């Protein structure tokens, strides 16, 4: 199935939650609303024509304009097609609905995104820091991140 | 002392001081706590294997800090790991030495500029005796580091105040 | 002048003295600088959590006990093996009786299952819902039961 077909099916199913698509790039993507990601992903996983049963990757993005995003790379082992979903949110309201109920692997991927970007995933079962120590200040991969001077008596910058 | 004068010049007697004897005993059996964290650990394994063989220097790997003399910090030290290194160094018994293997453990290595999670040099948490530069250092460099530590141990003394 | 036992005793004594000298020498020369962080329990670098005493499975104790009994039996067999010829048939039968008694005990332990090293059975996860892809594009959902496929 091409990205255009997937976009059409999603648009008829969900209407306003599907915002735009860009299918002339190497990896065609569909932009979805951040508060409906779980519904859309359940549909993508369970629908017999799509069956995206494999979440290849879930990554965070900081677009440097005050917008954050989460990029989902989905693949279907049954039908052998792929799609990329993007969900954007602002820095002031960094909330995106979690998809860890859809694919179990999203649990730790979303924890990593929370740890490094500060995007809060609603309805996530266990949202806490994964890579950085638990009492670290700040979210390191943000574009405006300044590393802290001291951590438990150790000097952090060079 | 006419009895003992010029009787032992053929090399059949060996005299030493207590310091010399103890230091020789200590440097010939520097048991190590292998602390392989990252890529330098592979070089440490290569040095322990048959081609370079640090065991012939008396350096046996032990898993616990209680039974070791030297800790090879081989690899990138992250901030999360640094508190564990401090605790393990505390649990080693004197006389204890630290060899920092590779540039990540010496100064943060390639992560010195942008690595927010890397401790720029393990000497920010524990005192280091020998630094081995390299990314990663060849096993021969590791052996040279061990020999440098042996030289340092040879010069120690029970009566001299240590730093 | 000295019996054979006496010579063995001297040997044993020298061994003990060697060990004591070594430990005593180490005690004189080693540094002793304890402080609280050094005396903390070792837990691979983490803060120690919980008690250091763990409960072992009782099967270790059972096997050790059974081993001890039969080890003593073997230890008794050795001197008998050296001298049984001069006692003839009587010596042989005496040891045979001893072995039969112990063999009855061994059979009891074996048949009771005390020598089995039980491993827990691995639990195979039962899939309640799975997808079956056919050669055509169409795929359908099937429910898998314990016995087979039920549509």
Q: Where are the alpha helices (DSSP H) in chain B?
A: 18-27, 39-48, 79-91, 102-107, 139-154
| The pLDDT of residue C116 | 79
At residue C136, the pLDDT reads 42
Whether A73 shows a pLDDT value over 80: the answer reads yes
Q: What is the pLDDT of residues A40-62, one digit of tens each?
A: 999 999 988 889 999 999 999 99
Q: What is the pLDDT of residue B142?
A: 94
Q: Searching chain A, which residue's CA lies closest to the CA of residue B77?
A: A156
Distance CA B51, CA C19 (A): 36
pLDDT, tens only, A135-158: 999 999 999 999 999 998 899 998
Euclidean distance between CA atoms A119 and A109, whole angstroms: 12
Average pLDDT over every residue of C34-55: 87
> C124 forms bridges with which residues in the sheet?
none
Q: Which residues pair with A31 in a beta bridge?
A: A20, A86
- By percentage, how much of chain B surpasses pLDDT 70? 98
Smallest Cα distance from A60 to chain B, Å? 18
Query: Which residue in chain A is spatially nearest to C132 when comparing CA positions?
Result: A78
C-alpha to C-alpha distance for C149 and C143, rounded to whole angstroms? 6
Nearest CA distance, B112 vs chain A (angstrom)? 6
Instruction: Note the pLDDT tens digit of each residue in B5-27.
Output: 777 777 777 777 888 888 999 99
Verify whether the Cβ–Cβ distance B84 to C40 is below 8 Å. no
Q: Is pLDDT at C115 greater than 90 in this prediction?
A: no
**Residue of chain B minimizing CA distance to C46:** B84
- Average pLDDT score over chain B: 90
| ipTM summary value | 0.77
Q: Which residue has the tokens 């691979």?
A: C44
The pLDDT of A11-31, averaged and rounded, is 86
User: Which carries the bigger pLDDT value, residue C51 or residue A88?
Assistant: A88
Residues of A with CB under 8 A from a CB of C: 48, 51, 53, 78-79
Which residues are CB-contacts of B27 (< 8 A; sequence separation ≥ 6)? B58, B149, B150, B153, B154
Q: How many B×C Cβ pairs under 8 Å?
A: 29
Q: What are phi and psi of B35, to 5 degrees?
A: -125, 60
DSSP A148: -
Rounded to the nearest angstrom, the minimum Cα separation between A151 and chain B is: 8
Question: What is the percentage of chain B residues whose pLDDT exceeds 90?
Answer: 74
More confident: C77 or A3: C77
Average pLDDT (C83-90) is 88
Query: Which of B34, B33, B42 has the alpha carbon at shortest distance from B136?
Result: B42
Give the Cα separation of C31 and B156 in Å (integer): 14
């Amino acid at each position: 199935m091409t990205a255009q077909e997937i976009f059409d099916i999603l648009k008829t199913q969900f209407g306003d939650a599907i915002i735009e698509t860009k299918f002339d790039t190497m990896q065609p993507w569909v932009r979805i609303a951040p508060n409906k990601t779980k519904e859309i992903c359940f549909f993508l996983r369970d629908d017999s024509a799509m069956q995206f049963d494999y979440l290849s990757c879930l990554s965070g993005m900081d677009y440097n304009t005050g917008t954050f995003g989460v990029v989902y790379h989905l693949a279907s082992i049954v039908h052998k097609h792929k799609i990329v979903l993007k969900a954007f949110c602002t820095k002031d309201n960094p909330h995106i609905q979690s998809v860890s109920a859809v694919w179990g692997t999203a649990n730790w991927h979303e924890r990593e995104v929370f740890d490094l970007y500060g995007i809060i995933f609603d309805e996530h079962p266990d949202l806490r820091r994964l890579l950085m120590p638990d009492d670290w200040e700040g979210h390191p991969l943000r574009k405006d991140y300044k590393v802290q001077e001291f951590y438990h008596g150790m000097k952090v910058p060079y | 002392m006419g009895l003992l004068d010029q009787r032992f010049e053929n090399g059949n007697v060996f005299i030493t001081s207590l310091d010399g004897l103890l230091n020789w005993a200590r440097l010939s059996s520097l048991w190590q706590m292998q602390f392989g964290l990252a890529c330098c650990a592979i070089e440490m394994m290569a040095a322990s294997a048959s081609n370079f063989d640090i065991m012939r220097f008396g350096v046996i790997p032990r898993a616990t800090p209680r039974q070791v003399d030297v800790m090879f910090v081989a690899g990138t030290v992250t901030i999360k790991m640094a508190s564990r290194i401090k605790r393990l160094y505390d649990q080693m018994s004197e006389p204890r030495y630290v060899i920092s293997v590779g540039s990540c453990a010496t100064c943060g290595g390639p992560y010195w500029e942008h690595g927010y999670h890397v401790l720029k040099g393990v000497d920010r948490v524990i005192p280091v005796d020998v630094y081995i530069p390299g990314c990663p250092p060849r096993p021969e460099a590791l052996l040279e580091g061990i020999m440098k530590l042996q030289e340092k141990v040879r010069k120690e003394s029970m009566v001299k105040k240590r730093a | 002048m000295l019996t054979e036992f006496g010579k063995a005793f001297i040997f044993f004594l020298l061994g003990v003295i060697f060990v004591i000298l070594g430990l005593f020498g180490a005690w004189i020369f080693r540094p002793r600088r304890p402080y609280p962080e050094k005396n903390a329990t070792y837990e691979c670098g983490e803060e120690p959590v919980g008690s250091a005493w763990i409960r072992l499975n009782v099967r270790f104790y059972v096997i050790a006990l059974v081993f001890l009994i039969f080890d003593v039996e073997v230890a008794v067999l050795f001197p008998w093996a050296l001298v049984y010829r001069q006692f003839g048939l009587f010596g042989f039968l005496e040891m045979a009786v001893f072995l039969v008694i112990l063999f009855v005990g061994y059979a009891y332990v074996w048949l009771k299952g005390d020598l089995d090293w039980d491993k827990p059975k691995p639990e195979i996860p039962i899939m309640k819902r799975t997808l079956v892809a056919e050669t055509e594009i169409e795929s359908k959902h099937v429910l898998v039961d314990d016995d087979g496929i039920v549509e």
